[in-house]
Chain A
Amino acid sequence: MLDDLAIRLRQNIGLVTAVLLFCIFYLLYNLAHPRGFSSAVLVQNSDEIFALAMLAMAQTVPVLASGLDLSVGAVMTMVGCLASYLLTGTPLPLELLGLHLGTFPGGITGILIGMLICVGIGAFAGFVNGCVVVYGRIQPIIATLATGAVYIGIALFLRPTPGGKIDEDLNWALTNSLGDFASTVHIFDDGAASWFAPFAWIPVPFVLLALIALLVWVPFRRSVLGRSVYAVGSAEGAAYMSGLPIDRAKIAAFTLAGFFAGCGGLFLAIQTSSGNADIPQAGAYTLNSIASVVIGGTSLLGGTGSAIGSIFGAMILRVISFFFRIFDIAPLLQPLFEGLILLAAVSIGALRVLRVKNTLELFR
């Protein structure tokens, strides 16, 4: 039994390290914060973490298949801009080329349908990525570079300048604690039910993150298709010989990435109550998603790692920037420190290199 535990630990050392690092950092942060360990701080933190965590999950899946998705930031932005139209809570007349096509509903129905459409569009964008990579036989890095430009273009088309609005109740409900969510949506006695009290402080973004991870990622990972993604990233030729559905696995990986990126974009729009086609921000999110994946213990070569690790990687990155706020480090020095820490974090893997005795292994 202990033997097996040791084996599992060794195989998941990246994930375990990321979790431990995050716990240590977050503990230190709360200790140093004047209002640490309070629900307010927790809520604020989780609001700022959610989008990057979703993008980190998005980036993980293609990386596992030994690919890369440089369009995750663009998909996020595109879906966010779309959301700023569909989630206003008021009916939206649909016109195309001067023809009145109908009205997109307002109210709760509109919001729910709008959210579904947004997430669906994200998944569809991912599906297109997958098809270009698989059927076009174009390398993922350059294929997603190109599709990312297309998605950003669509985002700019939707919102040439930042605008739109999000239903206020929706914004309030999803960016605060469970108690606030309950009172806005009028369930559980408006949040006052006694059995509910111990849970009322939990931030909603955290719950959403946990739900998405548990209901989407975990079942996918345990499915044959999910395992095929790992197999393709580990040894594509062997996966073919073993009769695994390689093409479907790759397309599924990119589609799931688009889905997660769409979730991130949806939340970002709700949180900022607007749609903003910010190209530098999209680029920054994409690059940070790659960093989160690496810090979270997933190998850029594919075949090993987990989206859960990437979530912790994203959280570590965000918590580091939180530190700057409380330690009152000169704002001018913040980017430098962030850069140095990122560089140090990704160079940790270099320690392994020093122990290698057969130099041929470095090239495999």
Chain B
Amino acid sequence: MQDARLAQSGFLTLTGISKRYAGVRALEDVDFACERGKIHAVLGENGAGKSTLIKIIAGVVQPDAGTMNLAGNHVSFPTPSAANAAGVVCIFQELSLMPDLSVADNISIASPPRRFGLIDARAQRRRAEHLLADIGCEDVNPLMRVGDLPLSRRQVVEIAKALGKKPQLLILDEATSALTSADVEKVYAMLARLKSEGVAILYISHRMHEVEALADRASVFRNGRHIQTFDKGARSTAEIVQLMIGRDIAAQYPAKPARQVGKPALMLENLSWEKRLDRISLAVGAGEIVGLGGLDGQGQKSLLLALFGVLRGTSGRIMVEGRETHLGSPAAAKSAGIALVPEDRKTEGLMLPMSISDNLAIASLDAISTGPFVDRAKESAAIERGIARLQIKIGTPDDAVSTLSGGNQQKVVLAKWLMTEPRIILLNDPTRGIDVGTKQELYRLMRELADQGAAILFYSTDYDELIGCCDRVVIMYDGRIVRELEGDELTETNIIASSLNVHAATSADSTAGAAHA
């Protein structure tokens, strides 16, 4: 009787939680509850308030108003360690690991086993082995320096670290984004086990199929408000997306024009690099949007970096507009008319403390200079044009670019490059962490640029995007192009099959593209 009652009351309840950051309402009067022994998904586009909610629960930030109850007791967490002490453990999207310390050190970082007041290294190592085995990842050696591990192993270590804190409430914030599919299965198994032990689990993910598979309940947030909570299966994907963005999502992708075979603006012949790129041959025509697909880490990002002059020691030929070009540096690539929107806008695309106008102008200073000096008039005009063209929502151009939302920051990166009038545009997962509204604007812009004659190479981890935006998609596996898909062949099934390097039995299994097994 007692257990049934406990199971029904909320284990964690939030009442009237509000939080505002410098005039922006991140959370507005949120009521929320989750229960033990259930996986509760938190859905919403970026800027909806999910990460603020999580940070408040995990003790990273304090709410401006509202109360939190845990197992019936009023609680408040001024620091992450206070939350940990109450059994609330969060696995963050940006890992909380120290790269120079070992796996064992990181797992037991806050309260290690001790002997005579000092850290007991052997007991710590055994603890790490034990926890890693619990997830089923015994292959990680506890002595290894975390910085030397690939991202998927580091995520595993982060999960083991969280497990070691004996959570009563476990929060996963995009915790599986870099894991291999084998690891993902192990994590699902671990979550199922924790569920049966009565742990409450909060799960944030943008992957709808993951959410469908795992969640018992789901809550949708939009613009800082809690919109709805429903049980598994009660809403279709379309309905959920509708709740998330609050408007009709029809016509999300712009129409694709009929294909005209133009001259290739970019042609690669047997491009290789270290062990990551293996004889890539590819042609991208002016006016074409070519997508790069495949599983994470198959060389897509390396290909884009190679095309931008960042990698040393590449072999093979790169031809820009018919002329063989050696791309020795990003400056050389820029001169050749190539632009790259990089993977991490915060550390590679923008100088965050600098103003919006400084960030916009940095790549095209030559064009806005007269003689040895920067021409202020030309600069202001170019900046205004850039802001207007992409409809970037800003206060004034002198504001620091760090004050902008993720979507607007990405627009600044793109606007910066458009000012150089590139003929080849490389996009490295440009819509990651961007809200749906801005995403649609970006898709329209891509098609517009292609129509104006640019050749676009577009890497995305989202199959929908690849299918919706691209004229052609090449799938990479192990550093090689294994399949080219276009027209009717461009389906999710084919993409997935090619990503796994498996021949799917589809009708139009043409010989287009190389399919090396």
Contact = CB atoms under 8 A, between A and B. Distances in A.
Interface string A337-357: 000000000000000000011
B92 interface: yes
Given A7-B141, A358-B305, A360-B310, A230 B101 contact: yes
A242 interface: yes
A224 interface: yes
B143 A227 contact: no
B110 A11 contact: no
A239 B98 contact: yes
A219 B117 CA distance: 9
A304 B100 contact: yes
Contact of B143 (A7, A243, A358): A7
A223 B105 CA distance: 12
Contacts of A219: 118
Interface string A272-312: 00000000000000000000000000000001100000000
A234 B143 contact: no
B145 interface: yes
A218 B396 CA distance: 54
B100 A233 contact: yes
B417 interface: no
B96 A358 contact: no
A303 B119 contact: no
B99 A235 contact: yes
Contacts of B190: none
Interface string B273-300: 1100000000000000000000000000
B270 interface: no
Interface stretch (B11-19, B76-84, B419-427, B502-510): B76-84
A358 B114 CA distance: 41
A121 B73 CA distance: 48
B71 interface: no
B163 to A, nearest CB: 14
A222 interface: yes
Contacts, number: 85
A327 to B, nearest CB: 40
A99 interface: no
Interface in B114-168: 114, 117-119, 121, 141, 143-145
A176 B311 CA distance: 58
B23 interface: no
Contacts of A8: 143
A234 B110 contact: no
B394 interface: no
A289 B305 CA distance: 40
A4 interface: yes
A303 B118 contact: no
A231 interface: yes
A238 B100 contact: no
Contact of B98 (A230, A358, A360): A230
Contacts of B110: 242-244
Contact of A242 (B94, B102, B109): B109
Given A7-B141, A358-B305, A235 B98 contact: yes
A359 interface: yes
Contacts of B95: 238
Interface residues of B, number: 38
Identify whether the interface residues of A are mostly helix, strand, loop, or mixed: helix
Contact of B119 (A224, A234, A239, A304): A224
B305 A360 contact: yes
Contacts of A358: 305, 310-312
B310 A241 contact: no
Contact of A234 (B60, B101, B305, B313): B101
A328 interface: no
B303 to A, nearest CB: 13
A346 B119 CA distance: 33
Contacts of B254: none
B87 interface: no
Given A235-B98, A358-B311, A359-B311, A242 B80 contact: yes
A239 B101 CA distance: 11
B96 A238 contact: yes
Nearest to B82: A243
A240 B80 contact: yes
Given A357-B312, A359-B311, A241 B99 contact: no
A61 to B, nearest CB: 15
Contacts of A224: 111-112, 114, 119
Given A357-B273, A357-B312, A360-B310, A11 B145 contact: yes
A241 B274 CA distance: 36
B348 interface: yes
Contacts of B121: 222
A243 B311 CA distance: 38
Contacts of B68: none
B175 to A, nearest CB: 14
B446 interface: no
Nearest to B302: A358
B351 to A, nearest CB: 13
A222 B101 contact: no
Interface of A: 3-4, 7-8, 11, 219, 222-224, 227, 230-231, 233-235, 237-244, 303-304, 356-360
9 contacts: A7-B144, A8-B143, A231-B109, A235-B99, A242-B98, A243-B81, A244-B109, A303-B101, A359-B329
Given A230-B100, A303-B99, 11 more contacts: A7-B144, A11-B145, A224-B112, A227-B101, A227-B105, A230-B101, A233-B100, A238-B95, A238-B96, A304-B100, A358-B305
